[in-house]
Amino acid sequence: MNVTPRGLAKADRRAQILDSAARLFAHRGYAQVTVAAIGERSGVTGPAVYRHFRSKEAILAEVLHSASKGLLEDAGGTCSDAPTPGAALNGLIELHVKFALSNSAAIRIQDRDLTFLSSPDRRRIRSTQKDYVSHWTRVLAHLRPDEPEESHVTRAVGTIGLINSAVCARALPLEDPAAFAATLQEMASLALGAPHQAAETERSETGGAQPPQTAVPATSSPGMGRKDTI
């Protein structure tokens, strides 16, 4: 499909509006932000914003859904590329730490402003996030086969919440982001009992002895209730 320069410019403007809105929502709260303020921060007039979004609520919905959808897609790739469930779990931990550090605005907005959305929009966002959590639970089911599914859900959601809370509790920008990320990954790994990353990498590269592990299947885990993850 050919994309025209005008189409690219429109997509860029839309992305700029979403980024500006996310920053404003996170800083002021959804109720305190006007469409005019979003337009001003994006370099357009308030009415011009409506060429891209039908309402302020539609902007909020897209901010949260696009963040959740991108995270879900990245998780799928992480699990598909991992040679073992242990490597997949380490990859998911690293992925979510990076996500939280680069999307702290979306995390803050969901925690505070999700209720401003309509029921259909909330269901769409939660469905996407439930699918994301299912990547974690499938991996945990391989590593902890004797535990019930609800235990895997609790471990996954608890670890995701730990990462999100730790990031949102700190003032950004961080003095040493790399050290902070490494600490978060270590905390999450300990909480989940994840295989040591270096050992996992060595086994996958050398073919050394390890417990039998199969590839993580791509089917969704059934029977999961409401789980807000970002």
pLDDT on residue 215: 43
pLDDT on residue 220: 35
Q: pLDDT tens per residue, the chain (230 residues)?
A: 566 767 777 889 999 999 999 999 999 999 999 999 999 999 998 899 999 999 999 999 999 999 999 999 999 999 999 999 999 999 999 999 999 999 999 999 999 999 999 999 999 999 999 999 999 999 999 999 999 999 999 999 999 999 999 999 987 788 899 999 999 999 999 999 877 654 454 444 445 444 444 444 443 332 333 456 77
Residues in the chain: 230
Q: What are phi and psi of 178, to 5 degrees?
A: -65, -45
Q: What is the dihedral of CA 82, 217, 161, 230, to 10 degrees?
A: 90
pLDDT on residue 197: 57
For residue 99 the two structure tokens come to 């996500």
d(CA 195, CA 143): 9
pLDDT on residue 111: 96
> In terms of DSSP H, where are the helices of the chain?
5-28, 35-42, 46-49, 56-81, 85-102, 104-113, 119-143, 149-168, 177-192, 197-206
Over the Cα atoms of the chain, what is R_g? 20
d(CA 173, CA 61): 26
> If 0-12 CB within 10 Å is exposed, 13-18 middle and 19+ buried, where does residue 207 land?
exposed
Q: Is the dihedral of CA 13, 16, 22, 23 positive or negative?
A: negative
Of the candidates 113, 115, 76, the residue with the CA atom closest to the CA atom of residue 92: 76
pLDDT on residue 52: 96
In the chain, the amino acid numbered 126 is: R
